[in-house]
Structure 1
Amino acid sequence: MDFDVLIVGAGSAGLSAALTLGRCRRRVLLADGGAPRNAPSPAVHGFLTRDGVQPAKLLALGREQLAPYPTVEVHELKITKLHKLAHGFRAEGTTDQGHAWAGTANRVLLATGVDDVLPALPGFRELWGTGVLHCPYCHGYEVRDQPLAVYGRGKAAVGLALLLTNWSQDIVVVTDGPGHLTDYGRQRLRQHHIGLRQEPVARLVGGPGGTLRCIEFTDGSYLERTAVFLHAPQEQRSALAADLGALITSKGAVWVDKNAQTSIPGLYAAGDTTPGQQQALIAAAEGSKAAICLNEALTKEQVMQHKRTAC
């Protein structure tokens, strides 16, 4: 095999896994397939010792800290196909120059992340990461005590609005048409003085620096807000796991066991690719955990091979 471990994805999870495996003296290829999900955000928050760092800077620091480990290679490489072999995997892809690439690895770790599927309305994509936000834990403090909106419907919108009351007392749920709210849900909004607007939305109007100025409705009225939060649907950035037949959860995440291994033996996953909370620090921790599990699995395999050879 060309490598012990091929890591697909060079965000927080992938970099963290590469660091741990490099310290285990494993032969690692880290395939960087492009900008991470949080690239539009001005800063990463809640990351111990790096609170407020720009996403690109955090990744640059991670790559710099891989340099002392001679067994770790980092390449601009988009993996497009994985083939399960009798022992290990064969990977195919393209380099940043557009050249075909192929290689083999004993194990593969997917850290490819997800993409957010935003509403097809003007302003959502343009203000994503600045005036349109997904995570109160990542961005709530920066818009504290300001007028906020929650875009969404049903139980999820009510839950997000209630969560935001820790950061602001001026919150309006915007359902963009019928909100499908239960009587209990409406009661909870009233109890916490959370407003409700059910008119169809026309667009978001931005202000300086990518901030949100207001939400404009199709009837011509508007609602001034500093930011709008939403739980956008997500889809996997890579189909590699699904193409191999790995188990995908009902929410579209790649299922993993307690050792970060998917339903395909030898194929691991970490970070936003897998179920659970999504935050850069959590992704980094999951990458490190997956790397430890990978190293122990490889060590066990090597010990067994040595035992068979000795016999």
Structure 2
Amino acid sequence: MENDKNFDAIIIGGSYAGLSAAMALGRSLRQVLIIDSGLPCNRQTPHSHNFITHDGEKPSVITQKAKEQVLSYPTVRFQQGLAINGKKNNDGFEISTVDGEAFNAKKIIFATGIEDVMPDIQGFSACWGISVIHCPYCHGYEFSGKKTAIMANGERALHLASLVNNLSTDLTILTSGKANFEAEQAAKLEKHGIAVIEEEIVKIQHKNGWLEKVVFGDNSTRAFDTLYAAIPFKQHSAIPVELGCDLTEQGHIVVDNFQKTSVKGVFACGDNASMMRSISNAVAAGNLAGAMVNKELVEESF
């Protein structure tokens, strides 16, 4: 199998969703290739939470254990590398890597995740996933009762504030520009004692990724323990769009209830296809994608 270039399925992305899909297929004795670049989006996050049986574990430890279990199935192969191109062929699809290798498969599963687009704020990226965070469910409990900021504006800021308000009574919204709240929204913030600062954020002062102060354009500072940030993202891989997969208005890959994309034979799972950005959701979606790929293979051959 090591020299074989033809597979039942190629899974691009070897983190939680991809490994979960591979396990489902490996247990059905499908010939599977996982191609992974080794750069998961949560690589800076010190601990994973809200994933039952693994609460508080390091993400890398979860991944390594999952990889060992998946690769115990003899029909699953792991390829370290970066997939850069994809095209349809007579038998399905061809995927090429940056190293010049090409592999063929009847089905493709994209578990490629998304890439966060960091703002031009000094210190922001160094704190991302550590004390500058995106999800109250993944990180909120650990910062409950702490001095908390939310970097967002308008409806997004209000949504985050409503979730975080249950975790901290010391909550401030940083709009980094003119606040954009309707009268009813502003009244809700005032009712819950949530302050709004419009001054532009220019720097996150931190120590080894742990936030100490936010520095504003007028040189004033405010001390916080954590900062929730609603930042834009893009697809980590351009291949899904290259193959013709539709994207939502938000930028996720469009999938149906069975993780099928708009392109026949192509599936997607995990952060690249869902607003529910968590390990538990990625594992569940990957398991379903693997099962549905196997179902299609069965229907085509039986």
TM-score, scaled relative to structure 1: 0.93
2:29 counterpart of 1:30: no
Quote the residue 1:15 is aligned against. Answer: 19
Quote the residue 1:308 is aligned against. Answer: none
1:145 and 1:167 in contact (8 A); partners too: yes
Q: C-alpha root-mean-square deviation of aligned residues, in Å? A: 1.1
| Paired AA for residue 237 in structure 1 | H
2:286 & 2:167 partners in 1: Cα distance?
30
Structure 1 residue 216: Cα displacement? 1.1
2:9 and 2:31 in contact (8 A); partners too: yes
Unaligned runs of 5+ in 1: 304-311
Structure 1 residue 220: Cα displacement? 1.9
1:152 and 1:179 in contact (8 A); partners too: no
Quote the residue 2:69 is aligned against. Answer: 65
Pairing 1:195-214 to 2, within 5 Å after superposition: 195-207=195-207, 209-214=208-213
Quote the residue 2:8 is aligned against. Answer: 4
2:262 counterpart of 1:277: no
2:128 & 2:87 partners in 1: Cα distance?
36
Structure 1 residue 148: Cα displacement? 0.2
**For residues 148-198 of structure 1, what are the alpha-carbon distances to aligned partners after superposition, in whole Å with 9 as ceiling and x for unaligned?**
000011110111012101111100001111011111111110111111111
Structure 1 residue 116: Cα displacement? 1.1
Structure 1 residue 34: Cα displacement? 2.0
Quote the residue 2:183 is aligned against. Answer: 183
2:54 counterpart of 1:50: yes
Quote the residue 1:131 is aligned against. Answer: 131
1:162 & 1:276 partners in 2: Cα distance?
18
Quote the residue 1:309 is aligned against. Answer: none
Secondary structure class of the residue paired with 1:126: helix
Secondary structure class of the residue paired with 1:140: helix
1:108 and 1:267 in contact (8 A); partners too: yes
2:116 counterpart of 1:112: no
| Paired AA for residue 39 in structure 2 | A
Unaligned runs of 5+ in 2: none
2:132 and 2:226 in contact (8 A); partners too: yes
| Paired AA for residue 223 in structure 1 | R
Structure 1 residue 202: Cα displacement? 2.1
Quote the residue 2:92 is aligned against. Answer: 88
**Identical amino acids, percent of aligned pairs:** 34
**For residues 260-286 of structure 1, what are the alpha-carbon distances to aligned partners after superposition, in whole Å with 9 as ceiling and x for unaligned?**
111110011000110331101100100
1:11 & 1:41 partners in 2: Cα distance?
14
Quote the residue 2:299 is aligned against. Answer: 300
2:71 and 2:78 in contact (8 A); partners too: no
1:211 & 1:92 partners in 2: Cα distance?
39
Structure 1 residue 55: Cα displacement? 1.3
| Paired AA for residue 9 in structure 2 | V
1:152 and 1:231 in contact (8 A); partners too: yes
TM-score, scaled relative to structure 2: 0.96
2:275 & 2:160 partners in 1: Cα distance?
16
| Paired AA for residue 92 in structure 2 | G
2:17 and 2:270 in contact (8 A); partners too: yes
Structure 1 residue 120: Cα displacement? 0.7
Segments ≥4 residues shifted beyond 2 Å? none
1:133 & 1:198 partners in 2: Cα distance?
20
Quote the residue 1:165 is aligned against. Answer: 165
1:205 & 1:68 partners in 2: Cα distance?
45
